[in-house]
Structure 1
């Protein structure tokens, strides 16, 4: 794999491991096991100085959301499919990261391209499903919110992909992603098929802020608070949150 792709993965908090003996993290196939997953959620909860396991579950989804978004980046922007021999999670507190072991990037074929991408994404989400469902059960997060948390990092990047890449192709891929049947996720609604709300920025009333697809549960951390763009906030509480941010 070219060095530039190593650097790209690094922006998603993913490290490339070329030899299995160099793996430092927990094999994601083993994390699915109930006891190990509950232990990991407990550690992630303590790491962010919270007591509610939903915060730990949301924190775990942060790293997994970046992993899924990396897959989407390569498909949407580089026209490549990412695969690997193994995945691992390195639990190093706030400096945690994912490991991909012996990753391979394959060019997406031009013939039947959209169907190839649809199948690739369906397989990715089907593979993620047992782990995400386990995180939901172990942490107390609803399953819809658990999946919704992977949409946050994706939509944080999509505008940049459109502006700096093949805009038409990225937009076609986005519509394809949103059209994947909810049953693939085990849900009633595709977590990427979001109708966003916008509010005026607390910094500049002439600018808009997009409300997040799902609450990141930051308010459950020690000395935590709701994000200004949290979907849980009422208009009154959002205004108060903006005023609080302005006063700092």
Structure 2
């Protein structure tokens, strides 16, 4: 009976991860890359992913695909965070249980995460705080930390820049899930569990001198909505290192005040 309940819960939860966090169950018809996260710890597999993805985004080198892909990994982190708060449960996000797939969807490249064992859930046995710390430590210390080190080495970047992409994405998704929460109880749990991520995990879990997700954001004026503010990115996504006319993002921390004002005028002109 207990096993049947857990399997039903896993099925319902996986459906939500598919709808909101880019999880998939099968190989996409237009998939061109399928690799386990554990394989990306090896340089040749990391290089292969960055080269293949880089062609889609017209990258000038392997650095932009590394930062872009790290943003996608932020969805993986946000998904586990959602599981903890929504269901008091967690899927196994160990490197060997997750495959990432690169495929085309509506004319653009996307990544989908696929669980090999999508039925087994970890659930708290009395000590929810201790269980939560264990789940998050495994995700960040055993899956994300070595993965980002590998990607950073392949791209010639500091891993901190990749952690910044994850942080930017996670705070965005946190705000979205809070806005969509269907009860005050869920909203309170989402807030509490996100705070626990920042306070319960020490920097050494991430292999960084400081907690890479515990950040203080700066804000800039929203050019399209007078009186409103936009959160700046934690680190540069390197969009300017693609063969496009994108340049720096309006919320890029590398942009000077003068450059941002010039970009603001271009955005306003383009909106007319």
Q: Same fold (TM over 0.5)?
A: yes
Moved more, 59-68 or 140-149: 59-68
Q: Where does residue 160 of structure 2 map in the other structure?
A: 144
1:204-215 equivalences under 5 Å are: 204-215=225-236
Cα offset for 1:138? 0.4
Q: Secondary structure at the match of 2:25?
A: strand
Q: Where does residue 91 of structure 1 map in the other structure?
A: 102
Q: Where does residue 21 of structure 1 map in the other structure?
A: none
Matched, 1:68 2:77: yes
Q: Secondary structure at the match of 2:98?
A: strand
Matched, 1:237 2:248: no
Alpha-carbon RMSD across the aligned residues, in angstroms, is: 2.2
Measured against aligned partners, the alpha-carbon deviations of 1:184-209 in whole angstroms (never above 9, x if no partner) come to 00001111101111121111221111
Q: Please list every run of 5 or more consecutive structure 2 residues that lacks an aligned counterpart in the other structure.
A: 1-9, 28-32
1:39-54 equivalences under 5 Å are: 39-54=48-63
Q: Relative to 1, partners in 2 of residues 1:104 and 1:151: Cα closer, same or farther, differing over 3 Å? A: farther
Matched, 1:189 2:210: yes
Q: Relative to 1, partners in 2 of residues 1:106 and 1:39: Cα closer, same or farther, differing over 3 Å? A: closer
Q: TM-score, normalised by structure 2?
A: 0.81
Cα offset for 1:4? 5.9
Q: Where does residue 189 of structure 2 map in the other structure?
A: 169
1:2-13 equivalences under 5 Å are: 2-3=11-12, 5-13=14-22
Cα offset for 1:78? 3.0
Q: Where does residue 119 of structure 1 map in the other structure?
A: 134
Cα offset for 1:112? 1.6
Distance in 2 (CA, whole Å) between partners of 1:117 and 1:206 is 39
Q: Is contact 1:16–1:102 with CA below 8 Å preserved after alignment?
A: no
Q: Please list every run of 5 or more consecutive structure 1 residues that lacks an aligned counterpart in the other structure.
A: 19-23
Q: Is contact 1:25–1:99 with CA below 8 Å preserved after alignment?
A: no
Q: Relative to 1, partners in 2 of residues 1:45 and 1:176: Cα closer, same or farther, differing over 3 Å? A: same
Distance in 1 (CA, whole Å) between partners of 2:54 and 2:114 is 21
Matched, 1:198 2:219: yes
Q: TM-score, normalised by structure 1?
A: 0.89
Q: Secondary structure at the match of 1:92?
A: strand
Distance in 1 (CA, whole Å) between partners of 2:139 and 2:126 is 21
